[in-house]
């Protein structure tokens, strides 16, 4: 069987069929709390920290639907004496735990008792932390129980006016528990059961009626938002689009997810932090799901629905027709203009996210090329009496409006601008790289950042147009990708618009599905490239999907290629400028080294000197005193042991000694 999903008419995207009741399954609405098995557990220990302390008693009560199904209680030998303060608090003495089973024997029995249940504890991190530490110490795998903390629930529904704190003894007295807590495991677990039931009864009016609700029941979510939790009931766990609708059935917000049920439920929990979305949830009256075959189809449907309904709580993709482009006009003396539509015969880049971004890209082109900036349409022959603007006076415009001979010069400039827009942006990058390098040397970093931002805006617009142009010109493209289950996900694209999708189950020949998809796919009229037939962001989504690993092109009607030296390789302005700047810096350094070498070669060497410096006396230790000499006296001059005159050390020898101290010392 092949599940095919060609794009249906708009009304099929927005509304579900009415008049037919749908049987909602338990998987769609979750597990009611009355059907959940809880194991309420309490521990007594020798201290407050797992690892440094040990368990002395385990008590647990298993309940479901308000009925007690079983109890578990045992003392545990902690492997050491029980501290005196713990004995006073709990009444458990060292003599009581001597001979009791160790935790390695108790833990398997408790895990079997609690299998498949939800653990409940008062201050659950304490009790569950000790149990996890014991499991790790004894080599038992922790099953990963869902955990409910009655302290967090109590903080949600019990105010300070009712109880001064949220201790177990205080809550047990408030809710008139049948068992009084006494710091013994089983008694405290029984008291916690009564507290749990009382808390759940208070949470029910707030919309906490299923097990899935308890995961966020302790979060600080306004009650009016939590009460709308039922809007997520019945939503499928499948990819698709969801539409929040208001009191007049107007579309408030459109979103997409791989799991409609989980995503919509998150709007009613503390996970949703956006004040704008909370305001939307307060207004919403219903949620319309649109199940899609694939996540790509869901993303595309979201864009189309946003463009169709213009929901007030959606901020992006609301008006694709207002996205600006840059046009190199088709006239005798072309110029650059920011427009909102693509016309045949002219060169365009974009679309840009805003008009300011498009204007920055225009300024980048003007900074790189001396193309005319005036907005009036110029005749092929200058009119008599025409005057040039100030840009012509400073050399930034060839002034074809007054100089007939400037037509060829301006035409050559236009060709370079067109080349930079549609193919190689090197002319723009090089011009801005030099400008940024000069400003950085002068420490004018703010101006350099402005130039960099202009270059970035141009590169983004040019790269986007170069990506969109081949896809929008392609009449039909069929691609396939293996799914995780082993089947095939098929995509049909016509002129950049998603015309249909299909899922082929595993071990099924996809060829018949491809032919059926091509025959039943949406008809798409050819657009004016580089503008695609659909939403520009839809074409970006399709290109992103086509670029994923494992995607195979089945067929394509026209060649699909990009320029070799395109702007797509230079979308990072820092990298594009950095490479050029580094090459320029290296070239300047080489030129400086060559110039210094030539200056050194042209400088004459000084003439050698024959005059030897005067000899100096080399100091030597005084000889031993002769007969009759007083202690400390040296020999007189002229004595055979008197110092001799020696020439100064040779400079070459001094240099050798400096370079090789060890050799010089050995020679000495």
Residues 6+ apart with CB under 8 A from 23: none
Please list the ranges in the chain whose pLDDT falls under 50: 1-28, 582, 610-611, 616-619, 622-648, 651, 654-668
* The predicted structure's pLDDT at residue 589: 63
Residues 421 and 348: their CA atoms lie apart, in Å, by 8
**210 is known as an active-site residue:** no
Residues 185 and 56: their CA atoms lie apart, in Å, by 9
* The predicted structure's pLDDT at residue 405: 72
Determine which one of 122, 140, 176, 183 is catalytic.
Answer: 183
Coil, helix or strand for 447? helix
* The predicted structure's pLDDT at residue 441: 85
Task: Spell out a b/e string for 382-405, using b for 16 or more CB atoms within 10 Å of the CB, else e.
Answer: beeeeebeebbeeebbbbbbbeee
Q: Tokens 């400037």 sit at which residue?
A: 406
Residues 6+ apart with CB under 8 A from 315: none
* The predicted structure's pLDDT at residue 376: 75
Q: What residues pair up with 555 in beta bridges, in sequence order?
A: 478
* Cα dist from 116 to 37, 83, 210, 361, 387, whole Å: 8, 35, 16, 62, 89
180 near 168, Cβ under 8 Å?
A: no
Q: Which of 332, 224, 344, 341 is nearest to 284 (CA)?
A: 224
Q: Which of 391, 416, 415, 413 is nearest to 402 (CA)?
A: 391
Residues 6+ apart with CB under 8 A from 65: 34, 35
Within 10 A of 290 (CB to CB), how many other CB atoms are there? 22
DSSP one-letter string for 184-204: -HHHHHHHHHHHHHHHHHHHG
* The predicted structure's pLDDT at residue 151: 93
Question: Is the preceding omega at residue 530 within 30 degrees of 0, hence cis?
Answer: yes
Coil, helix or strand for 80? coil
Residues 668 and 660: their CA atoms lie apart, in Å, by 12
Within 10 A of 581 (CB to CB), how many other CB atoms are there? 16
* The predicted structure's pLDDT at residue 628: 44
Three state DSSP letters for 479-505: EEEECCCCCEEEEEEECCEEEEEEEEC
Residues 38 and 367: their CA atoms lie apart, in Å, by 72
Residues 459 and 440: their CA atoms lie apart, in Å, by 21
Please, what is the Cα angle at 206 between 201 and 209, to 5 degrees?
60
First to last CA, the chain: 98
């Amino acid at each position: 069987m092949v599940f095919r999903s060609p794009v249906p008419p708009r009304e099929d995207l927005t509304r579900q069929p009415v008049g037919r009741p749908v049987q909602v399954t338990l998987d769609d609405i979750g597990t009611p709390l009355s059907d959940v098995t809880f194991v309420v557990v309490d521990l007594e220990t020798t201290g407050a920290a797992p690892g440094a302390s040990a368990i002395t008693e385990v008590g647990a009560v298993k309940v479901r639907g308000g009925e007690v199904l079983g109890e578990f209680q045992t003392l545990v030998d902690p492997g050491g004496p029980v501290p005196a303060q713990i004995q006073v608090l709990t009444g458990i003495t060292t003599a009581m735990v001597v001979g009791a089973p160790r935790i390695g024997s108790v833990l398997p029995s408790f895990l079997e008792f609690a299998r498949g249940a939800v653990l409940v504890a008062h201050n659950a991190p304490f009790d569950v932390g000790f149990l996890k530490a014991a499991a790790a110490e004894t080599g038992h795998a922790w099953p990963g129980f869902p955990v409910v903390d009655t302290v967090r629930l109590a903080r949600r529904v019990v105010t300070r006016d009712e109880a001064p704190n949220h201790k177990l003894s205080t809550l047990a007295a408030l809710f008139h528990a049948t068992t009084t807590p006494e710091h013994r495991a089983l008694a405290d677990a029984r008291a916690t059961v009564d507290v749990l039931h009382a808390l759940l009864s208070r949470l029910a009016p707030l919309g906490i009626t299923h097990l899935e609700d308890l995961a966020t029941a302790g979060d600080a979510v306004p009650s009016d938002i939590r009460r709308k939790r039922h809007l997520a009931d019945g939503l499928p766990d499948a990819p698709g689009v969801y539409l929040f609708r208001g009191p007049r059935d107007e579309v408030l917000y459109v979103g997409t997810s791989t799991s409609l049920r989980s995503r919509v439920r998150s709007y009613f929990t503390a996970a949703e932090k956006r004040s704008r979305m909370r305001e939307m949830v307060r207004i919403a009256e219903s949620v319309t799901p649109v199940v899609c075959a694939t996540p790509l189809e869901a993303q595309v449907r979201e864009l189309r629905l946003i463009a169709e309904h213009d929901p007030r709580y959606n901020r992006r993709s609301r008006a694709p027709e207002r996205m600006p482009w840059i046009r190199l006009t088709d006239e005798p003396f072309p110029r650059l203009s920011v427009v909102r539509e693509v016309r045949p015969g002219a060169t365009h880049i974009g679309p840009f996210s805003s008009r300011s971004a498009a204007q920055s890209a225009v300024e980048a082109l003007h900074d790189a090329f001396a193309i005319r900036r005036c907005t009036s349409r110029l005749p092929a022959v200058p009119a008599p009496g025409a005057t040039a603007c100030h840009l012509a006076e400073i050399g930034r415009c060839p002034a074809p409006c007054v100089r007939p001979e400037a037509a060829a010069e301006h035409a050559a400039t236009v060709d370079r601008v067109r080349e930079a827009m549609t193919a190689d942006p090197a002319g723009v990058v090089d011009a801005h790289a030099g400008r940024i390098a000069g400003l950085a040397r002068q420490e004018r970093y703010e101006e350099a950042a402005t130039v960099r931002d202009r270059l970035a805006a141009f590169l983004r617009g040019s790269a986007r147009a170069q990506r969109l142009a081949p896809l929008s010109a392609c009449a039909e493209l069929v691609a396939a990708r293996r799914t995780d289950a082993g089947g095939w996900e098929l995509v049909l694209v016509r002129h950049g618009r998603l015309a249909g999708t299909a899922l082929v189950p595993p071990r099924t020949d996809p060829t018949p599905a491809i032919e059926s998809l091509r025959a039943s796919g949406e008809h798409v009229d050819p657009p004016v490239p580089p503008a695609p037939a659909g939403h520009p962001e839809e074409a970006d989504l399709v290109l992103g999907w086509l670029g994923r690993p494992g995607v195979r092109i089945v067929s394509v009607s026209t060649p699909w290629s990009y320029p070799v030296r395109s702007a797509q390789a230079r979308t990072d302005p820092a990298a594009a400028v950095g490479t050029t700047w580094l090459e320029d810096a290296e070239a300047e350094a080489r030129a400086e080294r060559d110039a210094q070498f030539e200056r050194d070669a042209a400088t004459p060497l000084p003439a050698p000197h024959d005059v030897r410096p005067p000899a100096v006396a080399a100091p030597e230790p005084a000889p031993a005193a002769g007969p009759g000499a007083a202690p400390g006296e040296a020999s007189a001059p002229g004595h055979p042991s008197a110092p001799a005159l020696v020439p100064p050390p040779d400079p070459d020898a001094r240099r050798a000694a400096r370079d090789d101290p060890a050799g010089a010392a050995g020679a000495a």
